[in-house]
Amino acid sequence: MRTALKLVWVILVLSVIPIATQAQTAANKATGVIAGRVTVGTDGAPGIEVIAVKQETGGMVIAGSGAQTCTATTDAEGRYRITNLPAGSLRVSAYAPAHVTPGERNSFNPGKTVNLAEGETAESVDFTMTRGGVVTGKVTDEDGRLVIEEQVTAHKLDQNGKRAANSGPSFSQWQTDDRGVYRIYGLEPGRYLISAGASSDDGMVRVGRAGGTYRRTFHTEAAEEERAKIIEVTAGGEAESIDIKIARASKGYAASGRVIDGDTDKPVVGVMIGYGITKGNSSSFGMGNAGTNSRGEFRLEGLSPNTYNAYAMMIGGESDSYSDSVKFDVANGDISGLEIKMYRGASTSGTAIVEGVKDPAILATLSKVRLQVQNSGNSTTMMGSNGGQITPGGTFKLGGLRPGKSRLSVNTFNMPKGVSLLRIERDGAEVKEFELVAGEAITGVRLIFAYGNASIAGRVEVKGGTLPPGARMTVYIHHEGDDPQKGPPLKFAEVGSRGQFLLEGLTAGNYKLTVSAYWADPDRSRKMPRAEQIVMVAGEGRQEVSMILDITPQQKENDK
Amino acid sequence: MKTITSAICPASCQLAEVLESNSSGLPATPTASWQLAGQLCRSSILLLALALLMAGTALAQRATGVINGRVVTEDGQPVRHASVGLFGMGAERQTFGGRLAILTDEDGNFQADGLDPMPYRVVATAPGYVTSGNNKIADPSNPRPANYVYVGESITVTMVRGGIITGKITNASGDAVIGAAIKVERVRDEAGRPTKEQSQFFGAPRQTDDRGVYRVYGLLPGGYIVSIGGGRSYSPRATPFEGRLPVYYPSATRDTATEVAVRSGEETAGVDIRYRAERGSAISGKVTGAPVEARSGMVINTSSIVLRQAATGTVVNTTFISPMSDQNGYAFYGIPNGEYELIASRTPQGDEASLASAPRRVVVNGRDVSGVDLAMSALASLAGTVTVEKASQPGGEQKCEGKRESYVNEVVVTARRDDPTEKPNEKDDSPTANFGESPVGVPSEQGAFTIRALKAGRFRLIAQLPDERWYVKSIGTGVTAGAAQNPAASDLARDGMSVKAGERLSGIKLTIANGAAGLKGNLTVAAGAKLPARIRVFLLPAEAEAKDDLLRFAEVNAEDNGTFSFANLAPGKYLLTARAIPDAESADKPPKPVAWNAAERVKLRKEAEAVNAVVEVKACQRLADFTVRFTK
């Protein structure tokens, strides 16, 4: 594995969840200030709104849907000053969707993190932008009909004329309107290919879509990328009439079959079918049908030619089964007779405690903990009932687990404040991994949590250069001795633009801190810098730490 | 990057979970996942179907069937590649079925086979089109259950080109406002009558482009108000529109907004808004009284909070408790001055009761309002069994001819609130019903049903029957034979049933008999006169001793040409009368049946006796061409 960390985390789609921030109390005086300048090229940009949003653990996206924001508008010189800010971790961004911030990697949560102490003023939180370009045109099919609500994609080409992977700022997706017209704005200047329609390498399965499926076609009417016409996008420029003529939509094909119990051959009723396109080590996900019928039958519709894998999953309710996946090819016709088998899985159950804590208010927060089981032998990740929670009575049960070596862990993203998983015990001894056997119930497992209010306040010093624009740093914390590759961190936090970070809710112990920086690296040639440090945390209070991150360029090691 | 998403609409109170792993070991952006979820959620009513979903259970193997049909435009042209969703309503949240999306072929046809018998709601979508009001299907912009489709039926869905609103948004200095989400609300139907319901726009919100230009299409004809801002931006990133007061076309508050007329297939241009970026107030508090969330497998049911206008019941905004929050706090931002009501509620898990808070009234007057805590408690439920009497009863009923076999688990039982203490303007039948829908229960194969999420008060049951040969014979609590003819103490049809807060009332017996009759006819007027625009036709039992047998009363709206049609009638002698529907009555929510009020029953009987249109229908009889002179 060439990557240092390989983790599977369950996170919530936070981009759409409003985090209801608590009403401000008198104790939390909002007297902080963030100030800086927004420039376009070298000129100050007037009239731009700069937004500060309080962010949760580790710089998670909290924007959107009515989260509380504080804003200020830039003056004639592009200067802004946001006042009355609460202390804490704030995400600051300049709202200018038609402009481009070089290096910005995360269009869902752009900007900079500023960790602000109470009453503190952070100056020089500056934003440099360039004017974006516009591409607009019309999509019609070969019969001359308007193609409505079809995705249009701008693929940025790199120096070698290759289009970048379908992620990050080099990939922008838009839709045609009811006139077949699309308008993509805020594009980084450069050379682009413009396409309409779907392709299996989008990493998402779109099935049963009203309007049918259009095969990806590039401007002007090229199905193959080689014949696509390159579009020059300039800063502030508009490329008009970039029309695309696309082949007639296909309704796609159907795949049908049934879900049966692998042991009894009886139909399994009311389970959903999850399926994805299998390509290399990536798989995408779709969900078809609305539950198997009383005969265990399912039918997936609107599939484009591809290789798929499908499996059964229980969406709600407790399941004691796990599903095999079935692989199938859709070429030029419907597929029938698929058989997905479900087997009785293992289960693990037990109790959860918070060491040394009797306060019912703290114990009650355990019901927010999301438990997850990761099967180490399972390369294809399938959704299923491999998660669970702790009941108000402090018990848990995870059923329908796939046999094999598995790890039980907690989802770091929604851990209650101050609570962390200390260790897992079985028969009084600590266990890291379970050997699960089909049908076997492992009972008497104890999840031992810790509650603490110690914190680590740190500062990261970057040496060996300056971070490129848009770079971000994140700091993770594990128990000393835990392998960061084999489990999610206890906590994590985004390092602010001035190098500071704060990890809260820790108990006494020895921890391994890992700081890493990352940024857009189109050809992925660089190894992203990382630094580690062992930190001892006493029972309470604040532990000051300083870390050094060497960003001297290093080539990636060859695959090992 | 590896991305796996469960396809539960994140915009609902049921949340999607995403599994992501990426090579850098860092949290990946949820971009693709969200887009995928968005795509899936675009099939709109999916979330409603998923709300019904629980564990799969072992059912006895039984006959499955087909629903097929055609999607056409008003002039009969096929709509190709329209997406048809069939959402099955299984009993007791134990099962659900159907198809999320079937695409019509080049001729507009679709067919779904392998469907278990249960009531289905059908939704059709096609880019740029809307389903017109006259379909026997659910309207995607209106999730209120209207009609159900059953296995063995064939349906035609008519779609019309949606209307378009387009314009430009500028700020105080005349610059384009970029990336602002536009909200359109339908406030008037095509005939110009006010719509009470919230029209929900399930598609991706339309945003202004780099020139400040927006274009909202696929709109049902009618009158709209258009706004930007107002505490919800729909954008995944932070925008400066959050927490700002909504500004309505042309540059107004909601009350002073100018209505925009939308016609099918036509573009209404120049709907420009001058945006004032004024901050609104915040309302915040905590949800207390019960666990705010329940998890089951991959489904998280968390509590949602609805903010609505106190006077009109119009939903201003909804939010929900984030599973990330360990404070159970909520907040609304960008709220204009006014009087509001807040309600917190949670969908139950399994057999659990529904939870909701009492509406809490809040006045916003230029300042943030905090500490608006909402205490949730269990809601009441009604449970019982539906029995279909065997066709060969000693009563001499005969088995009528029918096209298809019907099942007891295709019945939909609705509880409609009819409380004597109700205020005239009281809004919802259920605290969890934000769209004015009444709570329903679907019987199991054994006929057992439960209707949840009821607030305290008196309710009446309405059974929607899948079979024209069926009629509701009695609703009672004990042995019900003959109850319809001889109303006993347990005539729940006449008396309704009252539940206390949180009460679980059970033992209701709803008996369906075979041999229902039907009656079709038309209304005429004297030469030179004209029928009123909207007429409601009433049937009531002719026999004086049946004057309080509510199951013998029926009312339907006449078609524009004066024809009317009654189905599922108990055999017997009826009086028929008709009344003009007042203009003020909204087409969205019909008033309570006249028969529910004893005084109104007397009044109606007087009217009907004056008209003296008597008709007798025998078991299984389908009487047609019954002509009645409309006199008033």
Handedness of CA A477, A481, A484, A488 (dihedral sign): negative
Is B243 close to A211, i.e. CB distance below 8 A? Answer: no
Which whole number is the average pLDDT over A301-310?
Answer: 85
Minimal C-alpha gap between B115 and chain A (Å)? 7
pLDDT at B216: 93
Residue B453 pLDDT level (bands cut at 50, 70, 90)? confident
- pLDDT for the residue A107: 67
- The confidence score (pLDDT) of residue B328 equals 80
- Note the pLDDT of residue B304: 87
Least confident piece of the model among A469-478, B259-268, B447-456, B586-595: B586-595
CA-derived radius of gyration, chain A: 26
Is A373 touching B (CB cutoff 8 A)? no
- On whether any CB of chain B is under 8 Å from the CB of A375, the answer is no
Q: Put residue A285 in one of left, alpha, beta given phi > 0 → left and psi -120 to 50 → alpha.
A: beta
Please identify among residues 300-359 of chain B the ones whose CB lies closer than 8 Å to any CB of chain A.
317, 319-327, 329-334, 349-350
> In angstroms, rounded to a whole number, what is the distance separating the alpha carbons of residues B256 and A516?
54
pLDDT bracket for residue A463 (50, 70, 90) = very high
Interface size between A and B, measured as CB pairs under 8 A: 403
Partner B contacted by A66 (CB < 8 A): yes
Average pLDDT on A86-111 reads 84
Report residue A204: phi and psi, to 5°.
-145, 145
pLDDT tens digit sequence for B254-301: 999 999 999 999 999 999 999 998 988 989 899 988 888 776 666 677
With beta carbons less than 8 A apart as the criterion, state whether B342 and B362 touch.
yes
Residue A208 sits at the chain B interface (C-beta within 8 Å):
yes
In eight-state DSSP terms, residue A471 is -
Q: Give the pLDDT score at A65.
A: 38
**CB spacing of A284 vs B36 below 8 angstroms:** yes
How, if at all, do strands B163-171 and B273-275 pair? parallel
Residue A463 identity: K
Amino acid at B8: I
Are the C-beta atoms of A253 and A303 separated by less than 8 Å? yes
Res A307 pLDDT > 90: no
What's the pLDDT at A7? 23
Whether B94 and chain A come into contact, CB under 8 Å, resolves to: yes
**B179 near A CB under 8 A:** yes
pLDDT computed for residue B93 by the predictor? 47
CA distances from A505 to A491, A492, B21 (A): 9, 11, 26
Contact B64 A56 (CB under 8 A): no
Q: Which residue has the higher pLDDT, A12 or B546?
A: B546
Looking at CA atoms only, how far is residue A159 from chain B in angstroms? Answer: 23
Q: Is the CB of B331 less than 8 angstroms away from the CB of A56?
A: no
Residue B1 has pLDDT above 50, yes or no: no
Residues on chain A touching B331 (C-beta within 8 angstroms): 18, 20-21, 23, 66, 68
In this prediction, residue A282 carries a pLDDT of 53
**How many Å apart are CA B403 and CA B357, to the nearest integer?**
46
**Mean pLDDT over the full length of chain A:** 82
Two tokens, residue A289 = 């049908």
Residue B438 pLDDT > 90, yes or no? no
Listed range (A314-318, A375-379, A551-555, B139-143) with the worst mean pLDDT: B139-143
The secondary structure of A312-356 as a DSSP string is EE--SS---EEE-EEEEEESSS-EEEEEEEEEE-EEEEEEEEETT
Interval B330-374: pLDDT, tens? 888 889 999 999 999 987 766 778 889 989 999 999 999 999 999
Q: Which of A210, A295, A317 shows the shortest C-beta gap to B83?
A: A210
A352-371 residue pLDDT tens: 999 988 888 888 888 878 88
- Best of B100, B283, B303, B306 to substitute, by most chain A Cβ atoms within 10 angstroms, is B100
Decide: B225 and B254 in contact? Cβ < 8 Å: yes
For residues A345 and A322, give the distance between their C-alpha atoms in angstroms, rounded to a whole number.
6
Structure confidence at residue A161 (pLDDT): 82
Mapped onto helix, strand or coil, the DSSP state of residue B91 is helix
**Highest mean pLDDT of the ranges A427-436, A522-531, B258-267:** B258-267
Tell me what percent of the residues of chain A surpass a pLDDT of 70.
82
pTM attached to this predicted model: 0.84
Contact B21, A7 (CB under 8 A): yes
pLDDT for B122 equals 85
Per the CB < 8 A criterion, the answer to whether B26 and A484 are in contact is no
Lowest-confidence region among A33-37, A371-375, A433-437, B41-45:
B41-45
**Between residues 59 and 78 of chain B, which touch chain A (CB distance below 8 Å)?**
59-62, 64
* pLDDT band at A35; cut points 50, 70, 90: very high
What is the model's pLDDT at position A316? Answer: 63
Q: Does A46 touch chain B (CB under 8 A)?
A: no
Say whether residue B215 is in contact with chain A using an 8 A CB cutoff. yes
Contact A302 B101 (CB under 8 A): yes
- Choose from A373-377, B7-11, B371-375 the range with maximum mean pLDDT: B371-375
pLDDT in tens, B108-145: 999 999 898 998 888 888 988 988 665 655 444 443 34
* Contact map slice: B 270-309 vs A, CB within 8 A: 277, 282, 284-285, 291, 295-299
For residue A291, give the nearest of B95, B106, B333 by CB distance. Answer: B95
The three-state secondary structure class of A361 is helix
What is the per-residue pLDDT for B171? Answer: 93
Average pLDDT of span B221-236:
78
**Interface with chain A: mutation pick from B1, B18, B19, highest number of A CBs within 10 Å:** B19
Tell me the C-alpha distance between B206 and B169, whole Å.
Answer: 13
Minimal CA separation from A190 to chain B, in Å: 19
Q: From the CA of A3, how many Å to the nearest CA of chain B?
A: 6
Look at the block and give the residue holding tokens 């924001």.
Answer: A69
For B284, which of A23, A69, A382 is closest by C-beta distance? A23
pLDDT(A518) > 70: yes
Please give the pLDDT value at position A289: 66
For the segment A489-515, the average pLDDT, to the nearest whole number, is: 89
Q: Tens digits of per-residue pLDDT, A177-196?
A: 999 999 999 999 999 999 99
Q: Tell me which DSSP letter residue B365 carries.
A: S
The whole-number pLDDT of residue B390 equals 77
CB B628 within 8 A of CB B539: no
Tell me what pLDDT residue A204 has: 59
Secondary element (H or E) of residue B509: strand B504-514
pLDDT at B574 over 90: yes
ipTM for this prediction: 0.84
pLDDT tens digits along A103-143: 776 666 788 889 888 899 999 999 999 999 999 999 999 99
| A361 part of contact set with chain B, CB < 8 Å | no
CB contact under 8 A, A295 and B326: no
| Averaged pLDDT of chain B | 80
Local confidence band at B197 (pLDDT 50, 70, 90 cut-offs): low
A14 in contact with B, Cβ within 8 Å? yes
Q: Residue B23 and residue A516: Cα distance in Å, rounded?
A: 13
pLDDT given for residue A284 in this prediction: 61
* Preferred mutation among B9, B20, B40, B113 to probe A, highest tally of A CBs within 10 A: B40
B contacts of A19 (beta carbons < 8 Å): 322, 324-325
| Among candidates A64, A301, A370 on the partner chain, residue whose Cβ is nearest the Cβ of B103 | A301
Answer yes or no: is pLDDT of A23 > 50: no
Q: Which residues in B53-89 are b (16+ Cβ under 10 Å) and which e?
A: bbbbeebeeeebbebebbbbbeeeebbbbbbbbbbbb
pLDDT at B57 over 70: no
Residue contact A64–B105, C-beta within 8 A: no
Q: Tell if the CB–CB gap between B125 and A210 is shorter than 8 Å.
A: yes
DSSP result, A98-152: TEE-TT---TTS-SEEEEE-TT-EE----EEEEE-EEEEEEEEETTS-B--S-EE
Whether residue B142 contacts residue B201, with contact meaning beta carbons closer than 8 Å, is answered with no
Q: How far is A301 from chain B (nearest CA, A)?
A: 6
Q: Who among A58, A60, A64 is closest to B236 (CB)?
A: A64
**pLDDT over 60 (residue B46):** no
Give me the residues of A, 290-319, that contact B with CB < 8 A.
Answer: 290-295, 297, 299, 301-302, 313-319
With 60 as the cut, is the pLDDT of residue B456 above it? yes
* Whether A529 contacts chain B with CB within 8 A: no
What is the model's pLDDT at position A420?
87
Cross-chain residue pair A23–B30, CB shorter than 8 Å: no
Assign B34 to helix, strand or coil. Answer: helix
- Cβ <8 Å between B370 and A23: yes
Report, as an integer, the average pLDDT of A339-356. Answer: 92
Average pLDDT over residues A450-479: 89
Cis peptide before B450 (omega within 30 of 0): no
- pLDDT at position A300 is 87
Percent of chain B's residues with pLDDT above 90:
43
Tell whether A203 lies on the interface with B, counting CB pairs under 8 A.
yes
What digits encode the pLDDT tens for the residues A206-228? 666 777 788 889 998 888 888 99
Tokens at B470, concatenated: 């069926």
Query: What tens digit of pLDDT does each residue of A256-295 get?
Result: 999 999 989 999 988 888 887 776 655 566 666 678 888 9
Is residue A89 within 8 Å of A457, Cβ to Cβ? no
Query: Which letter does DSSP use for residue A294 in this model?
Result: T
What is the percentage of chain B residues whose pLDDT exceeds 70? 76
